[in-house]
């Protein structure tokens, strides 16, 4: 097969919030860039974000970035890197105002300022009481944000390659990253995108679970590509289950519903969160609420004939609040649960939502991989931002609205780092290795020639069931041990998938097969990490190790594909300018 070579200053894989924010930085600096996306940019999963973006603007209540930082460290169960967290929280007002000036249509307060609502774990004065910090455009914040960023990129003449799927990283002799290989879906042709700087902004891997709030395209491609290129993936055992996915459908009901006053109830009509989090109640952080819900169900207080879900009650709210501030939620509830929240409660259940882990980076967006005893050794030419990256601001558990913020802050800082590093590389691009596309072509060839191949859909279903059953809200030792064996068996089947359709043009069967090859790497990292980490912290809740263990486990785990091996990296406990948020027990 002919492989076309294309050369740029920078290549960005992913056109969600993180990719678009970085692209804008580079395009406005006049660099020659290519942005690749599997889907049209505004169809990236960022478009589905509902609740808001966190920033201590203090428009409705007194607020401070330091309080936001404290909440984020506490939310992370102290696994977050405090330098990255300080950087993000300090930068938050600036990037949100910047977005406002880009034209983002935020909902407004009476006096015309950006509307802010309460959200889980957002507190004033170092954990005292809920504060209004989530900046929102009704319940379609991600939609407003993604379109704003896209339009701004059109203005800056950003070059998009739409319906192109990146296949593999290209690395040089010293391990430096030199670009990616990619397939154009329309033609089936393969290209090498050569660049001085390569950014991954490929989003999450939520489709590894059976019940997921994530879009079909969230298949952890960045993680798969990094893992195959020999790079580690960090902290994948921390997978967030959002408390309120629509029962049976998985579609998300934003935490903003509870921010606006919605209440979770069990079959007796009891507001059970009062027992689990007396102070924050329904606005405790997500891991805490999801565990409370799983416990209510386990102890027989779930709702419905199977007692397998709970109810989110809004019926006490002013209908006008629901109609104006939560119009999308009302529509989802009527359509997917057959319940109009103005009158009836919404049936909900914890649903896989967000990967806290990812490709390890510094707050500059530069990717790191331990080398010669340096845990923070930078991989030259490689950057990551957004959900596929692990900066690590979310640690063991992400607070709501901190992801959209993460996209803006680290999209921009990664863009700035790329501009800086490219500036130090005058002249021609470094030579590509002769075999730059060989690995990708071999994978494509294998798919073409596989005899009696496994069905992609069956293998994917097996993976999703295994993850759901063995690596859910609570994690049990026997289930994890079985889960590791099962996921390895699934991985073996993934290496033997076959496709019936061999056409070149818009062959979606081929794309899905390639996606499963990525998703399985993310699933292995998650399962292995969960089985390995013998403590409970954030979203990792081990039945056999119910306590957080800072003596042995206050460290990031790194999963390597080669040898299915786990190593560690220290947590950055020192912030940039303020004192460390000291370790303490996490209660809400
Ligand atoms: C339903 C839902 C609601 C949410 N609500 C909120 C909220 O209110 N507030 C909040 O802070 N967070 C929220 N989140 C989380 C947040 O929206 C996501 O974490 C975030 O949008 C991810 O952005 P991203 O830019 O990293 O990736 P995405 O927006 O997922 O974009 C990934 C991009 O990568 C591209 N891509 C992937 N693989 C390849 C490949 N191999 N080749 C080429 N392109 C590729 C895709 O085409 C896409 O353009 C929500 C998430 C969900 C699922």
- Give the tokens for residue 443: 């994978």
Pocket residue to mutate for ligand 1, from 142, 181, 257, 358, most atoms within 8 A of Cβ: 142
Over residues 125-151, the pLDDT tens digits come to: 999 999 999 999 999 999 999 999 999
Looking at residues 463-475, what average pLDDT do you find? 95
User: Is 286 an annotated catalytic residue?
Assistant: yes
Residues contacting 233, CB < 8 A, separation 6+:
223, 226, 227, 357, 358, 359, 360, 390, 521, 522, 525, 558, 559
Three-state DSSP class for residue 437: coil
Question: How far away, in angstroms, is 237 Cα from ligand 1 center?
Answer: 19
- Give the tokens for residue 372: 């010669």
Q: Is 391 in the pocket of ligand 1 (CB under 6 A)?
A: no
Over residues 386-437, the pLDDT tens digits come to: 999 999 999 999 999 999 999 999 999 999 999 999 999 988 898 999 999 9
Q: What is the pLDDT of residue 112?
A: 96
Catalytic residue among 286, 493, 533, 561: 286
Strands 310-313 and 233-234: unpaired
Instruction: Say whether pLDDT at 187 is over 90.
Output: yes
Give the mean pLDDT of the chain. Answer: 96
Instruction: Say whether pLDDT at 493 is over 90.
Output: yes
Output the CA torsion sign for 2, 8, 11, 16: negative
- Give the tokens for residue 581: 């948020």
pTM: 0.97
455 strand-pairing partners = 498
Give the C-alpha separation, 44 to 217, whole Å.
Answer: 8
Question: Phi/psi zone of residue 445: left (φ > 0), alpha (ψ -120 to 50 degrees), beta?
Answer: alpha
Q: Is 18 in the pocket of ligand 1 (CB under 6 A)?
A: yes
Give the C-alpha separation, 12 to 180, whole Å.
Answer: 10
Pocket residue to mutate for ligand 1, from 36, 44, 122, 191, most atoms within 8 A of Cβ: 44
| Peptide bond before residue 557 is cis, with ω within 30 degrees of 0 | no
Cβ–Cβ < 8 Å for 423, 239: no
Q: What is the pLDDT of residue 92?
A: 98
Q: 557: pLDDT confidence band, cut at 50, 70 and 90?
A: very high
Q: Is 142 in the pocket of ligand 1 (CB under 6 A)?
A: yes
1 or 232, which is more confident: 232
Q: Is 39 in the pocket of ligand 1 (CB under 6 A)?
A: yes
Q: What is the pLDDT of residue 565?
A: 97
List the residue whose alpha carbon is closest to atom 37 of ligand 1.
Answer: 202
366: nearest Cα among 302, 414, 315:
414
- Give the tokens for residue 187: 């033609």
């Amino acid at each position: 097969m002919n492989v076309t070579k294309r050369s740029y200053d920078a290549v960005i894989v992913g056109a969600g919030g993180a990719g678009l924010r970085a692209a804008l930085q580079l395009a406005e600096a006049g660099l020659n860039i290519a942005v690749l996306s599997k889907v049209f940019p505004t169809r990236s999963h960022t478009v589905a974000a509902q609740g808001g973006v966190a920033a201590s603007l203090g428009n409705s209540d007194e607020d401070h970035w330091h309080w936001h930082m404290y909440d984020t460290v506490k939310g992370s169960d102290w696994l977050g890197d405090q330098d990255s967290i300080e950087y993000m929280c300090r930068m938050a007002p600036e990037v949100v105002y910047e977005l406002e000036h880009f034209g983002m249509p935020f909902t407004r307060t009476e006096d015309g300022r950006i509307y802010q609502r309460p959200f889980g774990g957002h507190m004033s004065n170092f954990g005292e009481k809920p504060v209004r910090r989530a900046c929102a455009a009704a319940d379609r914040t991600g939609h407003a944000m993604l379109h704003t960023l896209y339009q701004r990129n059109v203005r800056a003449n950003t070059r998009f390659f739409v319906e192109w799927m990146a296949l593999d990283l290209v690395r040089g002799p010293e391990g430096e990253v030199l670009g990616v290989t990619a397939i154009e879906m329309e033609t089936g042709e393969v290209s090498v995108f050569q660049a001085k700087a390569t950014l991954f902004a490929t989003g999450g891997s939520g489709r590894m679970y059976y019940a997921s709030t994530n879009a079909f395209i969230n298949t952890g491609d960045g993680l798969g590509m990094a893992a195959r290129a020999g790079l580690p993936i960090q902290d994948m055992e921390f997978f967030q289950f959002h408390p309120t996915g629509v029962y049976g459908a998985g579609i998300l009901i934003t935490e903003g519903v509870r921010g606006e006053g919605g209440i979770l109830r069990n079959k007796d009509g009891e507001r059970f969160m009062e027992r689990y989090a007396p102070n924050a109640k329904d606005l405790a952080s997500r891991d805490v609420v999801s565990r409370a819900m799983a416990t209510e169900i386990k102890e027989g207080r779930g709702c419905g004939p199977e007692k397998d879900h709970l109810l989110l009650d809004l019926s006490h709210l002013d209908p006008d609040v629901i109609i104006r501030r939560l119009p999308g939620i009302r529509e989802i509830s009527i359509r997917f649960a057959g319940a109009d929240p103005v009158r009836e409660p919404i049936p909900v259940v914890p649903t896989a939502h967000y990967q806290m882990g990812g490709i390890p980076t510094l707050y500059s967006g530069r990717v790191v991989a331990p080398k010669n005893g340096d845990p923070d050794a930078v991989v030259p030419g490689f950057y990551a931002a957004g959900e596929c990256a692990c900066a690590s601001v979310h640690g063991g558990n992400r607070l709501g609205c901190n992801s959209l913020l993460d996209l803006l802050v680290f999209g921009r800082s990664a863009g700035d780092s790329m501009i800086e590093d490219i500036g130090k590389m005058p002249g021609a691009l470094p030579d590509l290795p002769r075999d730059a596309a060989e690995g990708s072509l071999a994978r494509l060839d294998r798919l073409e020639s596989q005899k009696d191949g496994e069905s992609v859909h069956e293998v994917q279903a097996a993976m999703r069931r295994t993850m759901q059953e063995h690596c859910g809200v609570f994690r049990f030792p026997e289930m994890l041990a079985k889960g590791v064996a099962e996921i390895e068996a699934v991985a073996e089947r993934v290496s033997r998938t076959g496709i019936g359709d061999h056409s070149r043009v818009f062959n979606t069967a081929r794309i899905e097969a390639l996606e499963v090859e990525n998703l399985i790497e993310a699933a292995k990292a998650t399962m292995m990490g969960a089985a390995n980490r013998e403590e409970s912290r954030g979203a990792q809740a081990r039945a056999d190790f119910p306590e957080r263990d800072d003596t042995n486990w206050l460290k990031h785990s790194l999963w390597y594909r080669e040898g299915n091996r786990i190593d560690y990296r220290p947590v950055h406990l020192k912030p940039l300018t303020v004192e460390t948020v000291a370790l303490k027990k996490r209660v809400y």
